[in-house]
Every structure is written in C-alpha cells, then in structure tokens.
Amino acid sequence: MKSIFLFFAVLLSLSLKAQEKITLYNPEADARKDLETAIQTARDQHKHVLIQVGGNWCSWCVRLHGVLESEAKIDSIMKSDYVFILINYSKENKNEAVLADLGFPQRFGFPVLLVLDQDGHRLHTQNTAYFEKDKGYDPDKIIGFLLDWNVKALDPKSYVR
C-alpha cells in the first residue's frame, strides 16, 4: 500500500514539475514584426534595441533573463537606454531568416545579445559567455556592456572637449 502511495506521489510531483515549463520565449511570435516594432520604438525614444536570442530550453538564457530583470541597476539602465526584445531560437521556430539578417548571432551559442541602433543597424553582437561567473552571470560585466553600447557612449558629442 505504501509503495502505491509513493508511486502516485512521485507521479504527481513529476506532473507538477512538467507544468512549471519556462515560457520566456514565444516560438509562435513574429520575430520580424517584433523587431520592426522595437526599432520604431527605439527611434521614437532615441534608444538602442537590445535583443536576447535564445530559447526556453536553454538554462543559461533563463538565468541571463533573470539577472537582467532582478538586478536593479541593470533594469534601470535597460529601461532608460534600450528597447528590449527576445527572439526565440528553438526546434519549433529557429527564426533563421531574421537571424541571417542580424549576421547569424547563433554562431556564438545561446544566449546571445545584439545591440541595434535606432535605425535597425547592428552595432554589436555579444557572446554572453564573457559575462559568466561561477554558475551564473556577473552583474558588473553586464552593466559595463550596457553602458559601453548605449546611445550616449556612441555619440561623438560625448567626447568633444
């Protein structure tokens, strides 16, 4: 009797675990349309576009997204300087045409970050392995990256004496 109870308890536990599926990325999203909307918003707000490419299957993608949202200074920089979007890469939808237009960022693995200017020109593709520290990401490295690629940092007027 105890073994039957244990069996059903384990089965229930596995069922609940399966329902906790991560859904940051939407494989059904129209990446081209999302990108066009982000570029228009960036143009209107005089910001850059920051793209995170990855998938729900990628534990490092989920970790990075968690750091981007949970670290107050990172969240502040992102909100003031960037229009942020996620582009899905998964077996359901690899968004190959959009990623080809963005210079094949998947060559760096996942997650990968891209910075576009307000006209949609790719300024930088970032291999996020350089942000890793221990079993996560180093917030200071991410902050440095975000500040190095924002509109002000790339404005020649910032360097005129």
pLDDT in tens, 23-64: 999 999 999 999 999 999 999 999 999 999 999 999 999 999
Identity at 35, one-letter amino acid code:
L
pTM of the model: 0.86
Confidence class for position 4, pLDDT limits 50, 70, 90: low
147 Ramachandran zone, left/alpha/beta (phi>0; psi -120 to 50): alpha
Q: Could you tell me the CATH superfamily of domain 22-159?
A: Glutaredoxin (3.40.30.10)
How far is residue 104 CA from its own chain's centroid? 15
Confidence class for position 118, pLDDT limits 50, 70, 90: very high
Share of the chain above pLDDT 70, in %: 88
What would you report as the CA-atom Rg of the chain, rounded to the nearest whole angstrom?
A: 19
Rounded Cα distance between 76 and 74, Å, is 5
Q: Which helix (H) or strand (E) holds 124?
A: strand 122-127
Domain coordinates of the chain in residue numbers?
22-159
- In this prediction, residue 16 carries a pLDDT of 43
- In this prediction, residue 3 carries a pLDDT of 56
Structure tokens at 63: 């970790």
137 Ramachandran zone, left/alpha/beta (phi>0; psi -120 to 50): beta
Q: Roughly how many angstroms between the first and final C-alpha of the chain, as a whole number?
A: 82
Identity at 51, one-letter amino acid code:
I
